[in-house]
């Protein structure tokens, strides 16, 4: 069985392997930046978020909810 698996890997042409390996760096950077952004958003909500009761209607929570989506759209437009 291992011999047949080895033959399959040897017979693969891997024509897109170079493109895949080149794409790993930007993809990894995107994941790291996304992780830091999520950490920042979590800290913001813990510090400035609405309390569980007595929530005010005049809180910039909508803006905080929109900003991560805007950052994601901007980074995707920069990547492409």
The rounded radius of gyration (Å) of the Cα atoms in the chain is 22
Q: Does residue 7 lie in a domain region?
A: no
Q: Does residue 69 lie in a domain region?
A: yes
For the stretch 35-55, pLDDT in tens is 998 898 888 877 877 665 555
Rounded to the nearest angstrom, the gap between the alpha carbon of residue 19 and the centroid of all alpha carbons in its chain is 20
For the stretch 9-29, pLDDT in tens is 777 777 888 888 889 999 999
Q: Does residue 30 lie in a domain region?
A: yes
Q: Does residue 33 lie in a domain region?
A: yes
Domain that holds residue 41: 22-79
* Domains held by the chain: number: 1
pTM over 0.85: no
pLDDT at 6: 76
For the stretch 47-80, pLDDT in tens is 877 665 555 555 666 777 788 888 888 888 887 6
Sign of the Cα torsion 69, 67, 45, 27 reads positive
């Amino acid at each position: 069985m291992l011999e047949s698996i080895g033959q399959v890997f040897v017979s693969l042409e891997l024509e897109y392997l170079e493109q895949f390996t080149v794409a790993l760096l930007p993809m990894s950077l995107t994941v790291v930046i996304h992780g830091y952004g999520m950490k920042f958003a979590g800290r913001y909500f813990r510090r400035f978020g609405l309390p569980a009761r007595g929530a005010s209607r005049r809180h910039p929570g909508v803006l905080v909810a929109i900003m991560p989506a805007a950052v994601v759209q901007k980074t995707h437009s920069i990547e492409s």
